[in-house]
Amino acid sequence: MRFVTYRTVETEPRLGLLHDGLVVDVEYFGAAIGQDMPSTMLDFIDLGPIALRFLQEAVTNASTADFVGTSLPQANVALLAPIPRPRKNIFGIGLNYTEHVAESARSLDTSKDLPQQPVIFSKPPTAVAAWDDPIRHNGAVTQQLDWETELAVVIGRTARRVAEADALDHVFGYTVINDVSARDCRRAGQWIVSKGQDSFAPMGPCIVTADEIGDPQDLTLRTRVNGVEKQNGNTRFMLFNVAQLVADISSVMTLEPGDIIATGTPAGVGAGRDPQEFLWPGDVVECEIEKIGMLRNPVVAV
């Protein structure tokens, strides 16, 4: 299933389900079939796997009448970030693709050695942006604004010290995230100022449930800037796969429903190119992941 958070000119953000070109309002659809359902993504994820299975069966067995008054054409709504305001910081994973480790060592003074454990940083909830929201370029702060297309993991069940073999059972679904980075804003090796500024976590356009994705380690990732391809990689080349990341993070801190892990980016970032390339006002960035979709954001001066 493909879940979105949407808004119309008449509504606050609401939970929707993409179905045959429509955005089905989950709360309204539930009312139509006599079942209470939540109106927000986080509240739905909190209900757990039983609610997801119920909704899957209900949509499969629904009549045309069940969608009348409960859905809108996708073209008539604005898509927001699937989780517009995460409950806590997004977990970011740095240097998680071999070739990206090499290009970062050449251009960003990071170690050329492959990490022996996941490199973890964070991005605050205020960094989240939606489809077509502007990536804010503050020229007084950065002259090295960069792109990073990444597979984002959305946790569906509380994970505390889970084994790698069980880790994927705790995943609700996956989305696209652009780990926007100001390369010249690192401070004494710390990355949160570089990666956590407002608008530096565009996310979307939807969350695709884990059952529909299947193997998260066989997805193609692409980045285009102004229509020109900059990144083309595959999640099979992660140093630490999704299951390993969930197991590692949960070994030291509890992962809760709705938590987000951005799993790292392949080679092809602007800082790693020769000559280096960075984002400037007027540019448009497109981040695309197989089976999920494409995320588009313009860069604007602030």
Which pLDDT score, from 0 to 100, does residue 99 have?
Answer: 84
Collapsing DSSP states into helix, strand and coil, what is residue 27?
A: helix
CB 3, CB 41: distance < 8 Å = yes
pTM of the model: 0.96
237-248 per-position pLDDT tens digit? 999 999 999 999
Which of these, 225, 239, 227, lies nearest to 279 by C-alpha position?
A: 225
Q: What angle do CA 129, 152, 172 make, to 5 degrees?
A: 110
pLDDT > 70 fraction of the chain, expressed in percent and rounded: 100
Collapsing DSSP states into helix, strand and coil, what is residue 105?
A: helix
Collapsing DSSP states into helix, strand and coil, what is residue 9?
A: coil
Q: What is the rounded CA–CA span in Å between residue 153 and residue 49? A: 16
Domains and CATH numbers, the chain: 2-79 (2.30.30.230), 90-301 (3.90.850.10)
Instruction: Answer whether residue 111 shows pLDDT above 80.
Output: no
Instruction: Answer whether residue 253 shows pLDDT above 90.
Output: yes
Strands (E), 124-265: 128-129, 135-137, 145-146, 149-155, 171-178, 181-182, 201-209, 220-225, 228-234, 260-262
Instruction: Answer whether residue 109 shows pLDDT above 90.
Output: no
User: What are 252's two structure tokens?
Assistant: 């030291």
CB 204, CB 176: distance < 8 Å = yes
187-219 per-position pLDDT tens digit? 988 899 999 999 999 999 999 999 999 999 999
- Distance between the two ends of the chain, CA-based, in angstroms? 37
Instruction: Tell me the pLDDT of the chain averaged across its residues.
Output: 96
Which of these, 49, 36, 122, 33, lies nearest to 86 by C-alpha position?
A: 122
User: What pLDDT band is residue 134 in, cutting at 50, 70 and 90?
Assistant: very high
Instruction: Answer whether residue 16 shows pLDDT above 90.
Output: yes
